[in-house]
Structure 1
Amino acid sequence: MLVLTKSMDFLHLRIYPSIPKIPSRKDRAKIMPENIVVEIGAPTLAGIKTGSLINVDCGNDTKRKICQDIRDMNRSFSGKGIRAVPLRFHNGKVLLYLYRPLFLEKDLANEQAKQLLKERHYPLHSIEDAVATLAKKTSLCSCSQDFPHEIGLFLGYPAEDVKAFIEHKYEGCKLVGTWKVYGDVEKSAALFARYRRCTNSYRLQWRRGKSLYDLTVRT
Structure 2
Amino acid sequence: MDQRGNITFRQVLVRFCAPALAGLKCANMVSCPNTEAINRELDAMARELSDKNIFFRILYQDRERMLVLVYRYRALQDRLADTGCREFLQEFGYESFELEAVFDRLQMRMGADKGQFPHEIGVFLGYPLEDIRGFIQNRGRNGLCCGEWKVYHEPEKAQKTFAKLKKCRDVYWRLFQNGRSVMQLTVPA
1:126 aligns with 2:98: yes
Using a 3 Å threshold, how does the CA distance of structure 1 residues 216 and 118 change in structure 2: closer, same or farther?
Answer: same
Deviates more, 1:104-113 or 1:188-197: 104-113
Partner in structure 1 of residue 145 of structure 2: 175
Distance of 2:42 and 2:104 partners within structure 1 = 16
Q: Can you give the 5+ residue segments of structure 1 that lack an aligned partner in the other structure?
A: 5-31
List aligned pairs for 1:2-17, cutoff 5 A: 3-4=6-7
Q: Percent same amino acid at aligned positions?
A: 30
Aligned counterpart in structure 2 of residue 166 of structure 1, from 123, 130, 136:
136
Partner in structure 2 of residue 82 of structure 1: 54
1:184 aligns with 2:160: no
On the 8 A contact 1:51/1:154 being kept in 2, the answer is yes
Distance of 1:120 and 1:109 partners within structure 2 = 16
Aligned pair count? 186
Q: CA deviation at 1:69?
A: 5.9
Q: CA deviation at 1:34?
A: 3.9
On the 8 A contact 1:81/1:101 being kept in 2, the answer is yes
Distance of 1:127 and 1:187 partners within structure 2 = 29
Q: CA deviation at 1:204?
A: 2.4
Distance of 2:140 and 2:97 partners within structure 1 = 32
Give the counterpart letter for 1:38 in structure 2: V
List aligned pairs for 1:186-201, cutoff 5 A: 186-201=156-171
Q: Can you give the 5+ residue segments of structure 2 that lack an aligned partner in the other structure?
A: none
Q: What TM-score do you get using the length of structure 2 for normalisation?
A: 0.87
List aligned pairs for 1:128-147, cutoff 5 A: 128-144=100-116, 147=117
Distance of 1:70 and 1:38 partners within structure 2 = 13
1:151 aligns with 2:121: yes
Distance of 2:111 and 2:93 partners within structure 1 = 16
On the 8 A contact 2:9/2:41 being kept in 1, the answer is no
Distance of 1:149 and 1:132 partners within structure 2 = 16
3-state secondary structure, aligned to 1:40: helix
Aligned counterpart in structure 2 of residue 53 of structure 1, from 22, 29, 32:
29
- 1:152-172 deviations in Å (ceiling 9; x for gaps): 111111111111111212344
Q: What TM-score do you get using the length of structure 1 for normalisation?
A: 0.76
Deviates more, 1:118-127 or 1:173-182: 118-127
Displaced runs of 4+ in structure 1, greater than 6 A?
A: none
Aligned counterpart in structure 1 of residue 178 of structure 2, from 203, 208, 213:
208
Q: CA deviation at 1:70?
A: 4.1
List aligned pairs for 1:87-126, cutoff 5 A: 87-126=59-98
Q: CA deviation at 1:118?
A: 0.5
- 1:24-59 deviations in Å (ceiling 9; x for gaps): xxxxxxxx3744432221111111012122223224
Using a 3 Å threshold, how does the CA distance of structure 1 residues 78 and 161 change in structure 2: closer, same or farther?
Answer: same
Alignment RMSD: 2.4
